[in-house]
Structure 1
Amino acid sequence: MSTPPDGLPIYRVLTGRDDATFCLRVSEAIDLGYELHEGPAVTFNGESVIVAQALVWSARS
């Protein structure tokens, strides 16, 4: 598939608390065909760790 499914963009940034739900969202994007773009950004908001992960469409066929 040369384009992402369901009209998704070729570049995405997922953000959220560093928990199993966030990891599942990233894993699902990888399963769709996205690849990680560099490492994650991590910060602390005073209550929990927040992560941002960029993903790019790999255009694999």
Structure 2
Amino acid sequence: MKLYRLLTGPDDAAFCHRVTDALNKGWSLSGSPSLTFNSATGQIIAAQAVVKEVEGKEYSPEMKLSEQ
């Protein structure tokens, strides 16, 4: 089964660490990152899709993908 997550957050070191953590847990980048500007807060928001292939599991909407 293939899992999908979209990591989002301010474009800062903490976001980069979240993506790095996912990569080190077996997730792979899926596509290019995206950036947008939040004019209300003055922040740049980043998004990166990641995917992971897992065996022996059946998909359920109750799955906590961040724990896979």
TM-score between both structures, scaled by the size of structure 1: 0.78
Task: Name structure 1 gaps, 5 residues minimum.
Answer: 4-8
Q: Could you say what secondary structure the match of 1:39 adopts?
A: coil
TM-score between both structures, scaled by the size of structure 2: 0.70
Task: Name structure 2 gaps, 5 residues minimum.
Answer: 55-68
The alpha carbon displacement at 1:41 in A equals 1.1
CA distance, structure 2, for counterparts of residue 26 and residue 58 of structure 1: 17
Q: What is the RMSD of the two structures over their aligned residues, measured on CA atoms?
A: 1.7
The alpha carbon displacement at 1:10 in A equals 1.2
How many matched pairs?
A: 52
Is 1:51 the counterpart of 2:46? The answer is yes
The alpha carbon displacement at 1:58 in A equals 4.5
Q: Pick the structure with more helix per residue.
A: 1
Percent of paired sites with the same residue: 46
